[in-house]
Structure 1
Amino acid sequence: MTAPAQAGATSPARRRRRPSPGQVVTVAGLAVLGGLWVYPFVWLVSASLKTSPEIFGRGLNLLPGEPVWENYARAWTEVGFASYFVNTLVITAGTVLLVVVRSALAGYVLGRYDFVGKKLLIGLFLVTFFLPEGYTIIPITQLTDQLGLLNTHTGVILGLGAGGQIASTLLYAGYFRRLPKELEETARLDGAGHFTVFFRVMLPLAWPITATVVILTYLFAWNVYLLPLVFTLSEPDLRTLAVGMTVFVGERGTDWSGMAAAAVISLIPVMAVFVALQRKFVDSLAGAVKQ
């Protein structure tokens, strides 16, 4: 009697573990969508290992006849992507640091203090949020040129990070607005000043927003094209990876295999950061929403 009873007890659990037809269809559909999403990147990697005639001659075939690893060597050394990579790292790091500090400071003031014209200022922020980048590139270029920083890393960092950054500022403002005032009062009773309260008490508590701003700003600064292009027209050595792609387009044709290899080099850091921080990014967004 024991064996049949045990079999009878386990059979309902086994039946419950079987996926329903709807679940099977859902998983199959998601698998197809995932394959379609991944396919362009896989094709790009495949194209980076082919010759330019082979890219178009073999159509959608992902397997190269013979891998041409020289495409990566040509992009990294001959074209100059090694220096472009360093330029992009410097500009991205500087932009992320500048955006976090200034957006957090501005958000702290908007979230914790009341002053005349505050609502009007927030309204102007929201209006400028919808302005395309092309509308602001001319005044930013003129201002940077007057400061003597047009063809420098510092100029590009200021151009990218010293703008409105409305989304980051409002994220910080909304978070700081919800923090209890007792935190500031306790710190001031201990003799802390405004900047001490901000950097030692308030900013560490805003880690969910900081993580979100860091990741989004990193992706933006790494992939931005227009402003670095304008700022480095007369200084090719200061180009970023995104701008450096134009090197493969010449008067006599386009080096498609070299461009594909360079694109893979540009995407590797982005993919690495995404894989490493995807869970923290989701957690930071969830924490920001809960607050």
Structure 2
Amino acid sequence: MSTAQTATGRRWSVGHIRRRLVWWIMAVIVGIGALLWVYPFVWMVSASLKDQLEVFSSGLSLLPETPIWENYSRAWTEASFGQYLLNTVIVTVCTVVLVVVRCAMAGYVIARYKFAGKKVIMVVLVATLFVPIGYTIIPVVEISQRLGLLNSLSGMVIALSGAAHVASILLYMGYFRGVPKELEEAAVIDGAGFLSVFFRVMLPLAMPVTATVTLLTFLATWNAFFLPLVFTFSRPDLRTLSVGMLAFVGENSVDWSGMAAAAVISLLPVVILFVLLQRYFVEGMAGAVKS
């Protein structure tokens, strides 16, 4: 082997080692960041298996001395989290369906049709992004009370799904703008009307965006607190999971182990849904931004 080839091999080896070293350093940094991110959730699962004293005496330790599974049964039965879970599922599913249909149709009309006042509508929609949610609770509750919808799951669904949901509308609008118009024209030639074109052609094509909107709406509704709290002041049996956490807060003490068990019960459906829809979530966000 010549001297030039040997020098080239040495340079390649040094460069290769440097690249690998940088890769390992980045992997270690990302791994540490992931552990810091996941640790609170793991600690919560660990706290749900400890007694009240051990939660504070064990510090940052994750392994309980003796797992206490009764915390989960206590949260499920004594704190009525079984009923709260059912209420939350009903409210969340109905809200997600209403938001998906409404936002998809609004995004489709704004993206594909020209009409008077279109720019004004867009300005108003974007402006609502800067309105704090707390400012809208009082008028929403007042309207719900006048309509006789307060203290009911149906009123809660209408209140949660009746918000602007501007981000969801913009996602659908960006996606529908990139869909070829020939698809609509072919459906119209075949005799399809507006609803047929929307539900049979356009909405199925927007499945990645629908998955994204479903996940975002699910998370927002599942974790909603202020509106469900106001709507269930006089009806504790209609509480959702987030409001039901108040059952573990007493006048002079807090049941931390029971609250941790209830929090794990509340988070499991969210984690499962995200694992199932994460691929569609990424595709929907990328497709809408690209369009």
Q: TM-score, normalised by structure 1?
A: 0.91
- Report the Cα distance in structure 2 between the residues aligned to 1:18 and 1:86, rounded to whole angstroms: 55
Partner of residue 53, structure 1: 53
Within-5 A mapping of 1:163-202: 163-202=163-202
Deviations 1:5-31 (A, max 9, x none): xxxxxxx99x96996211111111111
SS of the aligned residue for 1:149 comes to coil
**Residues 83 and 237 in structure 1, CA contact (< 8 A), matched pair in contact too:** yes
Partner of residue 273, structure 1: 273
Partner of residue 159, structure 1: 159
SS of the aligned residue for 1:208 comes to helix
* Segment of structure 1 superposing worse, 166-175 or 252-261: 166-175
Deviations 1:249-284 (A, max 9, x none): 011211111001100111111111122222222223
Partner of residue 34, structure 2: 34
2:106 is equivalent to residue 106 of structure 1: yes
Q: 1:58: Cα distance to partner? A: 1.6
AA aligned opposite 2:253? G
**Residues 208 and 288 in structure 1, CA contact (< 8 A), matched pair in contact too:** no
Partner of residue 219, structure 2: 219
AA aligned opposite 2:273? V
SS of the aligned residue for 2:122 comes to helix
AA aligned opposite 1:98? L
- Report the Cα distance in structure 2 between the residues aligned to 1:33 and 1:179, rounded to whole angstroms: 39
Aligned positions, number: 280
**Residues 228 and 239 in structure 1, CA contact (< 8 A), matched pair in contact too:** yes
- Report the Cα distance in structure 1 between the residues aligned to 2:105 and 2:192, rounded to whole angstroms: 17
Partner of residue 282, structure 1: 282
AA aligned opposite 1:70? E
- Report the Cα distance in structure 1 between the residues aligned to 2:128 and 2:208, rounded to whole angstroms: 25
- Report the Cα distance in structure 2 between the residues aligned to 1:282 and 1:175, rounded to whole angstroms: 13
SS of the aligned residue for 1:269 comes to helix
Partner of residue 251, structure 1: 251
Give structure 1 stretches of 5+ with no counterpart: 1-11
Q: 1:178: Cα distance to partner? A: 2.6
SS of the aligned residue for 2:130 comes to coil
Within-5 A mapping of 1:70-89: 70-89=70-89
Deviations 1:144-198 (A, max 9, x none): 1112111111111111111111111121122222322222222111111111111
**Residues 81 and 262 in structure 1, CA contact (< 8 A), matched pair in contact too:** yes
Q: 1:228: Cα distance to partner? A: 0.6
Partner of residue 3, structure 1: none
Partner of residue 21, structure 1: 21
* Segment of structure 1 superposing worse, 27-36 or 202-211: 202-211
Deviations 1:65-94 (A, max 9, x none): 211111111000011000000011111100
AA aligned opposite 1:223? N
AA aligned opposite 1:249? V
- Report the Cα distance in structure 1 between the residues aligned to 2:262 and 2:236, rounded to whole angstroms: 16
Partner of residue 133, structure 2: 133
- Report the Cα distance in structure 2 between the residues aligned to 1:281 and 1:185, rounded to whole angstroms: 29
AA aligned opposite 1:109? V
**Residues 104 and 169 in structure 1, CA contact (< 8 A), matched pair in contact too:** yes
**Residues 229 and 243 in structure 1, CA contact (< 8 A), matched pair in contact too:** yes
Partner of residue 264, structure 2: 264
AA aligned opposite 2:26? T
- Report the Cα distance in structure 2 between the residues aligned to 1:29 and 1:185, rounded to whole angstroms: 52
SS of the aligned residue for 2:184 comes to helix
2:185 is equivalent to residue 210 of structure 1: no
